[in-house]
Amino acid sequence: MTKAIGYAANHSFSRLKPLEFERDDPKAGEVEIEVLFCGVCHSDIHQVKNEWGNTVYPCMPGHEVVGRVTRAGGSVTRHKVGDMVGVGCMIDSCRHCEPCREHEENYCEGPNSWLATYNGPMVPAAMSPEHTNTYGRDNTYGGYSTVIVVAEDFVLRIPPALKPEVAAPILCAGVTTYSPMKHWGVKPGHTVGIIGFGGLGDMAAKLAKAMGAEVTLFTRSEEKLAEAEKLGAKAVLSTDKTAVAALKNSFDFMLDTVPEKHDVNPYVAMLKRNATLAVVGALEPLAPVNNQERAMHRKSVAGSIIGSIAETQEVLDFCAEHGIGPDVQVIPIQQINHAYKEVEHGEVRFRYVIDLASLKQEQAA
Ligand code: NDP
Ligand code: ZN
């Protein structure tokens, strides 16, 4: 066992506070990672506040984790001590169902689907028989912590061209936006609309542009219009009804990152014939969609969840190759409660990333 410390919430309206706990030693096939940086995803806030109704407390978030391998269990071949590595939203899956066999672990159909990096149930059925982890808790603890132990198959290589604090958000925001764009075939010359200019929107716009698409960002915030243009994207105020109406039937693909229930009908109207709007933001029932508009132009409204391990490696390598990455604001963990408020108010530009050195200092003090 290794002594660890992290920041966790004790109930749905509590602030995150330090929590001491223990991580298991790495077993066969697992690596221990000293966490250096961890991105702050809006999902962390939904989970801490129990907005999906499934949070187990204490809740220690963090699924955009970058650090160095400090120990490797027996039979580990993919990573070695000293490697810079990453952990995204999943740390295991059933490994036997059809999606797992087809390397789409993010659509695992096992008894509890994939095992989430935090708030995952610590019951054997949630894990593959090969990796019966026994962390001695009811739920998994994520990367707002000094150390994490993960099955090596779910650990990513961080390309040396990416700074670790920049690589961190690619592990969720990057792959969540890359995977649907790849699945729905975004290609050079396509017109792509991105709705919501936060952590996911920033990555989506940069990735779509690097794929050769012409990008339009939809934002509620006037002050973000100029920032979108800096990325080489067109920018439209989503509240500007005239601008929105002028874009009828103009996009080959749209990605919606708005974090709450909202009306997607204005965006469906903007899709070209046969095109898809993939909603990754609101993971809840949407307002009713006008099926006449969909049927008359064979349009689709779809959803998508994170991305596979292979796609996560692919998007890290793609970002390194194209010299792109998220805009990050590095913070000490002691500022996390304030950072959550800023994210909720759409103030972050565009991803907070926690520097875990701040937590090690707190542990040492
Ligand atoms: P952010 O808060 O960083 O960005 C969301 C952006 O959406 C905001 O910056 C704001 O942009 C816009 N927005 C916020 N509230 C509203 C609203 N009420 N109406 C319209 N627009 C709004 O969040 P993230 O990018 O980190 O995450 C976005 C969502 O995606 C979250 O719900 C998260 O849980 C989810 N998610 C889903 C995943 C999946 O696999 N499907 C994986 C990861 C995250 P602007 O100011 O430009 O309007
Ligand atoms: Zn996330």
Give 30-48 pLDDT, tens digit per residue. Answer: 999 999 999 999 999 999 9
Residue pLDDT, tens place only, 65-116:
999 999 999 999 999 999 999 999 999 998 999 999 999 999 999 877 899 9
Would you list the domain boundaries of the chain? 2-162+325-364, 176-303
Average pLDDT, the chain: 94
Q: Do 326 and 315 form a contact (C-beta atoms < 8 A)?
A: no
**Residue nearest (by alpha carbon) to ligand 1 atom 10:** 196
What integer is the mean pLDDT of 335-346? 97
Predicted pLDDT of residue 363: 79
Is the model's pLDDT at 134 over the cut of 60? Answer: no
Please tell me the distance from the alpha carbon of residue 137 to that of residue 173, in angstroms, as a whole number: 28
Q: How far is the CA of 173 from the centre of ligand 2 (A)?
A: 6
Q: How far is the CA of 257 from the centre of ligand 1 (A)?
A: 5
3-state SS class at 178: helix
Same fold: 2-162+325-364 with 176-303: no
**Domain 2-162+325-364 has what CATH class?**
alpha beta
Residue pLDDT, tens place only, 156-214:
999 999 999 999 999 999 999 999 999 999 999 999 999 999 999 999 999 999 999 99
Is the model's pLDDT at 247 over the cut of 50? Answer: yes
Ligand 1 close to Cβ of residue 196 (< 6 A): yes
**Residue nearest (by alpha carbon) to ligand 1 atom 29:** 281
**Domain 176-303 has what CATH class?**
alpha beta
Please tell me the distance from the alpha carbon of residue 9 to that of residue 47, in angstroms, as a whole number: 10
Contacts 24+ apart (CB under 8 A), 236-243: 238/195, 238/266
Q: Do 64 and 173 form a contact (C-beta atoms < 8 A)?
A: yes
Residue given tokens 């390194």 in the structure block: 320
**Residue nearest (by alpha carbon) to ligand 1 atom 34:** 43
What integer is the mean pLDDT of 331-355? 97
Predicted pLDDT of residue 137: 55
- Ligand 2 ion: nearby residues, β-carbon < 5 Å: 41, 43, 172
Ligand 1 close to Cβ of residue 280 (< 6 A): yes
Please tell me the distance from the alpha carbon of residue 267 to that of residue 28, in angstroms, as a whole number: 49
Predicted pLDDT of residue 365: 77
Q: Do 154 and 175 form a contact (C-beta atoms < 8 A)?
A: no
Q: How far is the CA of 79 from the centre of ligand 1 (A)?
A: 33
Q: How far is the CA of 63 from the centre of ligand 2 (A)?
A: 6
Predicted pLDDT of residue 193: 98
Instruction: Please give the structure tokens belonging to residue 52.
Output: 């999906």
Share above pLDDT 70 across residues of the chain, in percent, rounded to a whole number: 96
Predicted pLDDT of residue 128: 53
Q: What is the band of 54 on the pLDDT scale with cuts at 50, 70, 90?
A: confident
More confident residue, 9 or 1: 9
Q: How far is the CA of 270 from the centre of ligand 2 (A)?
A: 27
Q: How far is the CA of 43 from the centre of ligand 2 (A)?
A: 5
The vertex-329 CA angle with 364 and 163, nearest 5°, equals 80
CA dihedral 275, 229, 43, 53 (to 10 degrees): -60
**Residue nearest (by alpha carbon) to ligand 1 atom 26:** 42
Q: Do 297 and 269 form a contact (C-beta atoms < 8 A)?
A: no
Predicted pLDDT of residue 111: 79
Predicted pLDDT of residue 29: 94
Ligand 1 close to Cβ of residue 259 (< 6 A): yes
Share above pLDDT 90 across residues of the chain, in percent, rounded to a whole number: 90
Is the model's pLDDT at 120 over the cut of 60? Answer: yes
Predicted pLDDT of residue 133: 47
Q: Do 108 and 97 form a contact (C-beta atoms < 8 A)?
A: yes
Atom of ligand 1 nearest to the CA of 303: 41
